[in-house]
Chains A and B, each alone.
Chain A
Amino acid sequence: MVKQKTSAQTRIRAVTDHAVTGLAIAATVLVIAPLVAIFVYLILRGASSLNLDFFTKIPKPVGEKGGGMANAIVGSGILLAVASAIGVPIGIGGGIFLAEFGRGTRLANSIRFTADVLNGVPSIVMGVAAYALIVSPHISFLPMLGHFSALSGGVALGIMMIPTVCRTTEEMLLMVPHAIREAALGLGVPNWRSVLSITVKTASPGIITGCMLAFARVAGETAPLIFTALGNSFWSTSLNEPIAALPLQIYVYAISPYDEWHRLAWAGALVLIVLIVLAVSLVRYVTSRGVLKGAS
């Protein structure tokens, strides 16, 4: 009797085990499916509308065929340059502080925590803050401020880069063996020199990768640009003027009712995603190869 009951239980347990395995596999497939679907659509619809004009021409008025997003590509480049000029140095500096000076202190722990929390603040909120700080007409004491401009969009994106760059820099610096820091100190090298020329340089492939990751993330950001950089359907390279950006242009075209514009939106999305996939793969490659150049 007892034996029979046990074997029935065992069977139930075995069936449950198989069922759960099946469910887990199903979940994985369900998660991968949209990824595959998104890429298939991007390639199918994007590649068919991608041509030389896309990279060399500016948008045509509604109803006319052709045109491209050259101004948006250049605009995105300018915005990202401004963002990197703000986000990369400050972020790396913060990371250096966390890893080299503040290790284990309460100050460093709270900065680290704040950086993680800041990373989760929605980009639209960053946009509102950047608007209030730079675009809002109340503070037009500088000629470049007080209206929509490329500068304000770049600042919003740059601020968003800081926590990401800071945290990855810290993590990469922590991977540099302590022995190497000691070697530099033991030679009587000044601390600032030892940090910059030895520790940071040793971790530089990892730090560059972290910057690329932050770069890729803000390259696709749209929300903070809507009311800072605003967008522009003509050529503009001035920091003081509203400027076009690739994700912004995709948004405007995607919600428009015109097929021709939808076509361009897909092409733009394909360009954007190729850029991002390249960055992520590079990151993956560098980190899997070992973060440190020449580390044994």
Chain B
Amino acid sequence: MSETRIVPPQPKAGSLSSENERVVASPANVSAVRRYLSERGNSAAADRWFHYLMLLCALSIFGIVALIATELVIGSELSWHRLGFHFFFSSYLDPYTSMRLFWDPVNEHFSALPFVYGTLVSSFLALLIAVPLAVGVAVFLTEMCPGALRAPLAFMTELLAAIPSIIYGLWAVFVLVPLLRDYVNPLLIRAFGWTGLFESDNPTGLGFVAAAVILAIMILPIISSLTREVMMAVPHSQREAVLALGATRWEMIRMGVLRNARIGIVGAIILGLGRALGETMAVTMVIGNTPEIHRSLLSNGASMAAVIANEYAEATTDLHRSALTEIGLALFVVTILVNALARLLVWAVTRGAPQRAH
């Protein structure tokens, strides 16, 4: 076929050297190339294997979820059989002191109630602190911030999200807790002591308030960056429409932006809640780790994640370990549900928005 291709097309610019002609006029290479390629086969088998391998990697994500679920269910079977649903509600009276007790591994009394209580109280308290601040930061960054400040501030909130839990915990133990104990808690007691929520019987400074404050600091970046994302997804025309009516900037934000983004913001808050429910190290270090239920938010408590971190490695009896695994299972189910709900809400808002990445 290619034997006849001898005439090279003349490039316009320069004349061809004799060396060039030699290269071009050697048809052996040309047919060699074509022969080589036609012998290569269609690689359909390799392509199919590659496809399956990548599919396997992707399916491993389902596999992981299934594996975690199975392991947790098998691991908590004993506790489920022995304690049933009462596990999450029961308590018993100590015959010697006649106090209400929940968790006594030595005598094999297990109730998850104080841990569920502690997790819920510290998480919701954290949301109470974090949500207004996070929305405030998001509003400031998207609508008010001078352009030069935006990038460094966004970077700082990103950094806040990258700090490991253990460092928050370390800081909380040595800086935040003394601060709360010496300055903030007395103020709370003086101002709100009458509600019974703040009582001064805890000299350590540990407890729900400390846990909630450090949790709030930790979940803030997640809530504020997602809020920012959904606020930026609100089309510009919505803002202009409200501004054109003579609204002030705040009215524009309230009516043009927040109203349109509210479902997404709720999603962001729920995602923050999901993170708070499962947060372990920082909470373990400051919540006090006492399996009791008190009305006062300044008293020591415990959380689901914290009790696992504290006792799992040292759990000696099967029932103890099984009970801890069941707490893990509960945490798993709850965080899966909370995260799924949050993702759906955030998707619902950002889906229609134009891609900003391009």
Question: Are A113's CB and B343's CB within 8 A?
Answer: yes
The segment from A50-58, A66-74, A77-85, A270-278 that touches chain B is A270-278
Report how many A-B pairs have Cβ atoms within 8 Å: 273
Which residues on B sit within 8 Å (CB–CB) of A32? Answer: 153, 156
Question: Are B278's CB and A190's CB within 8 A?
Answer: no
Q: Complex formed: what's the CA distance from A273 to B343 in Å?
A: 29
Closest to B130 in A: A31
Question: Are B156's CB and A132's CB within 8 A?
Answer: no
Question: Are A276's CB and B162's CB within 8 A?
Answer: yes
A184 contacts chain B at the CB level, 8 A cutoff: no
Partner of A254, one of B169, B312, B328, B358: B169
Q: Which of B57, B158, B312, B331 has the most CB of A within 10 A?
A: B57
Partner of B308, one of A27, A98, A128: A128
Question: Are A123's CB and B173's CB within 8 A?
Answer: no
B88 contacts chain A at the CB level, 8 A cutoff: no
Closest to B253 in A: A20
Question: Are B46's CB and A190's CB within 8 A?
Answer: yes
A263 to chain B, nearest CB (A): 11
Closest to A89 in B: B57
Which residues on A sit within 8 Å (CB–CB) of B328? Answer: 124-125, 128-129
Closest to B310 in A: A226
Question: Are A97's CB and B156's CB within 8 A?
Answer: no
Which residues on B sit within 8 Å (CB–CB) of A98? Answer: 58
Partner of A223, one of B53, B173, B309: B309
Question: Are B279's CB and A122's CB within 8 A?
Answer: yes
Partner of B278, one of A114, A118, A121: A121
Partner of A166, one of B61, B165, B167, B249: B61
A191 contacts chain B at the CB level, 8 A cutoff: yes
B305 to chain A, nearest CB (A): 5
Question: Are B332's CB and A121's CB within 8 A?
Answer: yes
Residues facing B in A79-129 (CB within 8 A) are 89-94, 96-98, 100-102, 108, 111, 113-129
Return the CB mask of A251-271 against B: 1 if under 8 Å, else 0. 100110000001001100100
Residues facing A in B164-217 (CB within 8 A) are 164-171, 173-175, 217
Question: Are B336's CB and A117's CB within 8 A?
Answer: yes
Partner of B50, one of A91, A122, A129, A195: A195
Q: Complex formed: what's the CA distance from A117 to B339 in Å?
A: 5
Which residues on B sit within 8 Å (CB–CB) of A26? Answer: 136
B54 contacts chain A at the CB level, 8 A cutoff: yes
Q: Complex formed: what's the CA distance from A13 to B46 in Å?
A: 68
Which residues on A sit within 8 Å (CB–CB) of B339? Answer: 116-117, 119-121
Question: Are A162's CB and B64's CB within 8 A?
Answer: yes
B316 contacts chain A at the CB level, 8 A cutoff: no
Q: Complex formed: what's the CA distance from A223 to B305 in Å?
A: 9
Q: Complex formed: what's the CA distance from A49 to B129 in Å?
A: 34
B264 to chain A, nearest CB (A): 15
Closest to A270 in B: B167
The segment from B230-238, B269-277, B290-298 that touches chain A is B269-277
B59 contacts chain A at the CB level, 8 A cutoff: yes
Q: Name the interface size band of chain B.
A: 35 or more
Question: Are B170's CB and A21's CB within 8 A?
Answer: no
Partner of A120, one of B59, B275, B312: B275
Closest to B341 in A: A117
A186 contacts chain B at the CB level, 8 A cutoff: no
Which residues on B sit within 8 Å (CB–CB) of A113? Answer: 340, 343
The segment from B4-12, B24-32, B68-76, B97-105 that touches chain A is B68-76
Question: Are A101's CB and B278's CB within 8 A?
Answer: no
Partner of B47, one of A25, A192, A280, A284: A192
Q: Complex formed: what's the CA distance from A128 to B75 in Å?
A: 9
Question: Are A20's CB and B250's CB within 8 A?
Answer: yes
Residues facing B in A213-244 (CB within 8 A) are 216-217, 219-223, 226-227, 230
A10 to chain B, nearest CB (A): 9
Q: Complex formed: what's the CA distance from A129 to B324 in Å?
A: 12
Question: Are B220's CB and A220's CB within 8 A?
Answer: no
A296 contacts chain B at the CB level, 8 A cutoff: no
* A223 touching B167 in the complex, CB below 8 Å, given contacts A94-B60, A114-B61, A217-B162: no
Closest to A231 in B: B313
Question: Are B58's CB and A132's CB within 8 A?
Answer: no
Which residues on B sit within 8 Å (CB–CB) of A37? Answer: 171, 175
Question: Are A273's CB and B167's CB within 8 A?
Answer: yes
Question: Are A188's CB and B64's CB within 8 A?
Answer: no
Return the CB mask of B38-68 against A: 1 if under 8 Å, else 0. 0000110011011101111111111011011
Residues facing B in A14-32 (CB within 8 A) are 14, 16-17, 20-21, 23-28, 30-32
Residues facing B in A269-294 (CB within 8 A) are 269, 272-273, 276-277, 279-280, 284
Closest to A114 in B: B61
A200 to chain B, nearest CB (A): 11
Q: Complex formed: what's the CA distance from A125 to B278 in Å?
A: 8
Question: Are B46's CB and A192's CB within 8 A?
Answer: yes
A-B contact pairs, 10 of them (CB 8 A): A21-B144, A25-B144, A27-B133, A27-B140, A116-B343, A118-B65, A217-B162, A226-B313, A251-B169, A269-B167
